[in-house]
């Protein structure tokens, strides 16, 4: 087996690029070992036999795409090896999981199955190209017989709908058992993508509760306090302002609240759930 020795080079020349993450501006990135935490965009130059090794944290995977292009259309230029050696299996379009509920307008992306991968250029690109590498979570086809999963917001996170009616504590544990958390809608865009994917005709639990202190709402999935001015989508008259009320968990959807949020009893109310996982 051919062993490739890569020098570990700490990248001090990373600069922000229009929300794409970080850009490696080295003149020659070939032979480097690059740790991926935030998104990395490499502008090249690339040449034949150029090899780069990428790694991220052990419980995450790597997502590869081409900025302003389609990675599937550029695959004659390079191979992506799923592991730490050029003997590792090559990622192919045919062996990528097809998630039915993922957004169809996301960039074409190849996912490793582990936390390390090698990119090897077979040909020198005839035009400038930018390779984007991101840390991602693995996304299952489902997390149970009555569930659906997909990359419904972006290409690196994962959302799953569980269609078993359970109370809030049980749905919280269901998500945790699947290495996820109940969803936290901290912005309108995220909520709209999720509600577009799974209809609001039935109710879903979220991670928003005020069980720790009445009136102080916390997204328990991210441990973020809901402050004045933060995004909310409460049903008119909600949440209840009555002292010591038992309506301490937030759900949305159903024939009563539609797409709006409402506080209800965490134990006696049964609903479906949306779980999420982020890098």
Three-state helix/strand/coil letters over 112-150: CCCCEEEEEECCCCCCCCCEEEEEECCCCCCCCCCEEEE
- Judge residue 107's burial from the number of C-beta atoms within 10 Å of its C-beta, 0-12 exposed, 13-18 middle, 19 or more buried: middle
Q: Report yes or no on 269 lying in a domain.
A: yes
Clarify whether residues 105 and 162 are in a common domain: no
Report whether pLDDT(78) > 80: yes
In this structure, what CATH number is given to the domain that contains residue 52? Answer: 2.60.120.290
Q: Report yes or no on 1 lying in a domain.
A: no
**Other CB atoms closer than 10 Å to residue 55's CB: what's the count?**
19
Q: How many domains does the chain have?
A: 2
Helices (H), the chain: 168-177, 188-197, 254-257
Report whether pLDDT(258) > 90: yes
Clarify whether residues 113 and 163 are in a common domain: no
As a whole number of Å, the end-to-end CA separation of the chain is 32
The CA R_g of the chain, rounded to the nearest whole Å, is: 22
Mean pLDDT, residues 79-107:
94
Cβ-Cβ contacts under 8 Å for 273 (sequence gap 6 or more): 161, 162, 166, 171, 174, 175, 182, 183, 204, 205
Clarify whether residues 172 and 69 are in a common domain: no
Clarify whether residues 41 and 122 are in a common domain: yes
Of 166, 168, 113, the residue nearest 144 (C-alpha): 166
Q: Which of 136, 164, 198 finishes a domain?
A: 136
List the domain range (segments joined by +) for residue 43: 7-136
Model pLDDT for residues 214-240, shown as the tens digit of each residue: 999 999 999 999 999 999 999 999 998
In this structure, what CATH number is given to the domain that contains residue 159? Answer: 3.10.100.10
Please state, for a pLDDT cut of 70, what percent of the chain lies above it: 90
Mean pLDDT, residues 64-68:
96
Mean pLDDT, residues 171-194:
98
Q: Report yes or no on 40 lying in a domain.
A: yes
pLDDT at 241: 81
Report whether pLDDT(5) > 60: no
- Confidence class for position 22, pLDDT limits 50, 70, 90: low
Clarify whether residues 269 and 179 are in a common domain: yes
pLDDT at 208: 99
* Per-position b or e across 218-256, b if 16+ CB within 10 A of its CB: bbbbeeeebeeeeebbeeeebbbeeeeeebbbbbbbbee
**Separation of alpha carbons 2 and 193, rounded Å:** 45
Clarify whether residues 77 and 159 are in a common domain: no
- Confidence class for position 244, pLDDT limits 50, 70, 90: confident
pLDDT at 130: 93
Report whether pLDDT(114) > 90: yes
**Separation of alpha carbons 79 and 68, rounded Å:** 19
Tell me what the pLDDT averaged over the chain comes to: 90
Q: Report yes or no on 2 lying in a domain.
A: no
Clarify whether residues 204 and 93 are in a common domain: no
Q: Report yes or no on 220 lying in a domain.
A: yes
Q: Report yes or no on 141 lying in a domain.
A: no
Q: Report yes or no on 95 lying in a domain.
A: yes
Clarify whether residues 116 and 70 are in a common domain: yes
Q: Report yes or no on 207 lying in a domain.
A: yes
Q: Which of 90, 116, 136 finishes a domain?
A: 136
Clarify whether residues 68 and 14 are in a common domain: yes
Element (H, E) at 278: none
pLDDT at 20: 42
Residue corresponding to tokens 């850009």: 23
């Amino acid at each position: 087996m051919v062993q490739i020795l890569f020098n570990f080079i700490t990248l001090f020349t990373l600069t922000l690029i229009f929300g794409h993450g970080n850009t490696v501006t080295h003149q020659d990135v070939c032979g480097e070992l690059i740790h991926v935490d935030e998104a990395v965009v490499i502008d090249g130059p690339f040449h034949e036999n150029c090899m780069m090794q990428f790694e991220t944290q052990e419980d995450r995977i790597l997502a590869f795409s081409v900025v302003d292009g389609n990675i599937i259309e550029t695959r004659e230029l390079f191979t992506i090896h799923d592991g730490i050696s050029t003997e590792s299996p090559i990622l192919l379009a045919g062996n990528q999981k097809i998630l039915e509920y993922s957004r169809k307008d996301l960039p074409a992306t190849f996912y490793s199955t582990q936390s390390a991968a090698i990119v090897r250029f077979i040909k020198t690109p005839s035009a400038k190209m930018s390779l984007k590498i991101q840390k991602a979570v693995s996304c299952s086809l489902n997390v149970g017989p009555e569930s659906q999963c997909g990359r419904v917001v972006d290409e690196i996170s994962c959302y799953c709908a569980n269609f078993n009616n359970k109370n809030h504590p049980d749905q919280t544990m269901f998500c945790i058992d699947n290495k996820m958390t109940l969803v936290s809608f901290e912005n309108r865009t995220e909520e709209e993508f999720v509600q577009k994917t799974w209809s609001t005709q039935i109710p879903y639990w979220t991670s928003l509760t005020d069980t720790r202190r009445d009136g102080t709402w916390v997204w328990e999935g991210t441990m973020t306090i809901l402050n004045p001015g933060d995004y909310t989508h409460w049903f008119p008259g909600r949440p209840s302002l009555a002292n010591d009320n038992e309506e301490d968990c937030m759900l949305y959807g159903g024939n009563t609240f539609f797409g709006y949020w409402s506080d209800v009893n965490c134990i006696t109310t049964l609903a479906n759930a949306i779980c999420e996982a982020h890098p």
